Amino acid sequence: MSDTTHFETSQHALSLRLALAIIFGITLWRVVMLIFNTTDLFVDEAQYWFWGQNLDFGYYSKPPMIAWVVRFFNAISGSDSTFWIRVSAPLFHLATALTLMRTTRRLIAGDVGREIAPWVGVIFITLPAASLSAVLVSTDTIQILFVTIAIWAFLGLTKRSSVVEALILGVSLGVAFLTKYSVLFLLPGVGVAMLTLRSARIAWRDVIIAAIAGAIVVAPNLWWNFAHDAATVRHTESIAHWNGDGNGGGLVKHLLGALGFVGAQFGVVGPIIFYAMLWATWRMIRGKSDDREKLLVWLSIPVVALITLQALFAKAYANWAVTAYAAGTILAVWLLYRLTKKGLVISLIIGSVVAFLLPVLTVFAYDIKLPNGNLIMQRYVGRSAISLEIADIAAQANTPDIVADNRDILADLFYTLKGKPFHIYARNYGGFPKSYYEQKFSLPSSVTGDVLYIDDEPFDCAAGRSELVKRWSPDFGNMKGRTLYAYRLSPSCLAPKPQS
């Protein structure tokens, strides 16, 4: 099908000026609403902030880029408020939307590219995943920007050799790797595209330059992993269940896992956009795509397919496919604009409603409830209240040393009680640590006085003194209905058991 088939210049046209107004308007809405956001930092957000207080080339569960970004915004603002921890998210999405527009123009030349690029920008900025990740800080918002920059550079290199763009390609992929290792899922599709599409090939000199640049960027993190018993790699293996743990349940469970992951993608980027990506893949299989459309398929669908296989055999989270949706957004918009502009408009309307409502939910996080009485934002509130309760218990028990083993509790204790006269530690179980807190901030042997130990189940000490100080159940928030226990006990109660 030619680019001009079914194009209607008057109906559903979107000017560049209007698209930029929508993109900047949504970004401004998100930034302003962050000022009034009443949610606590989610466990991962609090952890990223804490990493940023302890700068390194790697961390227990992620590469270092997210910590560096959070620390940068804290440093330039002089504040570590939730606003300054999160504000990078909508700004990164703004940059990605604009870069995707430039990438679209680079792929699709002439008037057609000029007509499609504004749609790509507004569709991306209103994707459900973008709306969710714009109200909290996450690795996805950083990674997709640098994946987009890498695609922009790659497209340029397919047209002409360039040292500068080869360097941009390598550095961008390196930064994406320093953000999240899932960028590696992008590479098989790139390889297939270069093998099967002459128009997707770049000069060997540029490949070598990009590879060297990327290797230099990622080298500090690889060295960090080598020096820290491959901590990040081992954690990734653990949560993905590559070691075989959690693979039981039979064929039905595996199939449901894969179907659940694919189904979740309709929510991640919206039902129409994901359907359009699948539709484009079917068109390629039937031989109805040109090389540009095929390239976009190879830069997106293999990522989804590979992680679907991961979900089939082990475990996968819905956001692991985020690298697919840089090229995937361009692919879906291009297809919809040619074949069903009505679908494109409906997708924008759905995305815009979500983009408006999600920030509102964060502002009224303590007011908007589900029919069962639970808060809609229950996972994102109540964390600081637990930390302040623990601080009061520690002060009354005269135990400034607080120990816990629940990562959610530890993450918020370090953030909420910053600057207060408490020392916070993780329980050390021995062996490979269960969290960053156990890895770097486990209870040291130098602490000999009684500590306050927080647990979410009863604790029995056979190796020293132990006294239950308080037992309580939070009446709202992420731990509503669960029972927490505060014990005053001697550190010997928490000594790690000898490893067999």
- pLDDT bucket at 3, cuts 50 / 70 / 90: very low
- pLDDT bucket at 4, cuts 50 / 70 / 90: very low
- pLDDT bucket at 239, cuts 50 / 70 / 90: low
- 46 plus 184 within the same structural domain: yes
Helix (H/G/I), strand (E/B), else coil: 406: coil
- 355 plus 447 within the same structural domain: no
Cα–Cα distances in Å, from 125 out to 94, 221, 406? 7, 31, 35
Q: Return the biggest CA–CA distance within the chain.
A: 80
Residue 313 or residue 420, greater confidence: 420
238: buried, middle or exposed (CB in 10 Å: 19+, 13-18, 0-12)?
A: middle
pTM of the full structure: 0.92
CA distance 491 to 354: 49
Residue 175 clears pLDDT 90, i.e. is over it: yes
- 48 plus 186 within the same structural domain: yes
1 inside domain: no
CA distance 61 to 69: 16
Instruction: Report CA dihedral (444, 445, 449, 455) to the nearest 10 degrees.
Output: 50
Q: In the Cβ-directed half-sphere of 225, how many Cα atoms lie within 13 Å? A: 17
311 inside domain: yes
- 317 plus 448 within the same structural domain: no
CA distance 239 to 317: 10
- 80 plus 107 within the same structural domain: yes
DSSP category for residue 375:
B
CA distance 222 to 461: 40
- pLDDT bucket at 243, cuts 50 / 70 / 90: low
Going along 296-447, which residue ranges are E strands? 401-404, 423-426
CA distance 186 to 411: 32
Among residues 311, 331, 363, which one ends one of the domains? 363
CA distance 121 to 384: 37
- pLDDT bucket at 6, cuts 50 / 70 / 90: very low
pLDDT tens digit sequence for 258-308: 899 999 999 999 999 999 999 999 999 999 999 999 999 999 999 999 999
Q: Which of 38, 64, 39, 35 is nearest to 51 (CA)?
A: 64
CA distance 87 to 14: 28
Residue 498 or residue 64, greater confidence: 64
% of the chain with per-residue pLDDT over 90 = 82
376 inside domain: no
pLDDT tens digit sequence for 374-420: 999 999 999 999 999 999 999 999 999 999 999 999 999 999 999 99
What is the mean pLDDT of the segment spanning 126-148? 96
- 358 plus 388 within the same structural domain: no
What pLDDT is recorded for position 242?
A: 54
**Contact between 130 and 93 (Cβ < 8 Å):** yes
β-bridge mates for residue 488, sequence order: 452, 467
- pLDDT bucket at 9, cuts 50 / 70 / 90: very low
Residue 249 clears pLDDT 70, i.e. is over it: no
- 324 plus 463 within the same structural domain: no
Q: Which token pair is 368?
A: 């908007």
β-bridge mates for residue 404, sequence order: 426, 454
Q: Which domain holds residue 480?
A: 382-494
**Contact between 485 and 461 (Cβ < 8 Å):** no
CA distance 400 to 389: 14
Residue 484 clears pLDDT 70, i.e. is over it: yes
- 320 plus 256 within the same structural domain: yes
- pLDDT bucket at 250, cuts 50 / 70 / 90: confident
- 143 plus 286 within the same structural domain: yes
Helix (H/G/I), strand (E/B), else coil: 468: strand
Q: Which of 200, 321, 184, 194 is nearest to 262 (CA)?
A: 321
> What angle separates helix 301-313 from helix 250-268, to the nearest 10 degrees?
150
Number of domains in the chain: 2
Cα–Cα distances in Å, from 463 out to 124, 406, 493? 57, 21, 5
Among residues 363, 390, 416, which one ends one of the domains? 363
Instruction: Report CA dihedral (331, 15, 155, 293) to the nearest 10 degrees.
Output: 30
- 332 plus 466 within the same structural domain: no
- pLDDT bucket at 234, cuts 50 / 70 / 90: confident
What pLDDT is recorded for position 2?
A: 42
Residues 6+ away with beta carbon under 8 Å from 57: 64, 220, 221, 223, 224
55 inside domain: yes
What pLDDT is recorded for position 49?
A: 97
What is the mean pLDDT of the segment spanning 170-195? 96
Residue 86 clears pLDDT 90, i.e. is over it: yes
Strands 451-455 and 423-426, sheet pairing: unpaired
CA distance 400 to 420: 10
What is the mean pLDDT of the segment spanning 93-119? 95
11 inside domain: no
**Contact between 143 and 179 (Cβ < 8 Å):** yes
6 inside domain: no
Among residues 363, 397, 425, which one ends one of the domains? 363
- 50 plus 177 within the same structural domain: yes
Task: Average the pLDDT over each of 140-149, 190-199, 240-249 and give the range with the smallest value.
Answer: 240-249
- 158 plus 71 within the same structural domain: yes
Residue 39 or residue 240, greater confidence: 39
Residue 90 clears pLDDT 80, i.e. is over it: yes
275 inside domain: yes
CA distance 433 to 55: 19
Q: Which token pair is 84?
A: 């300054």
2 inside domain: no
What pLDDT is recorded for position 62?
A: 93
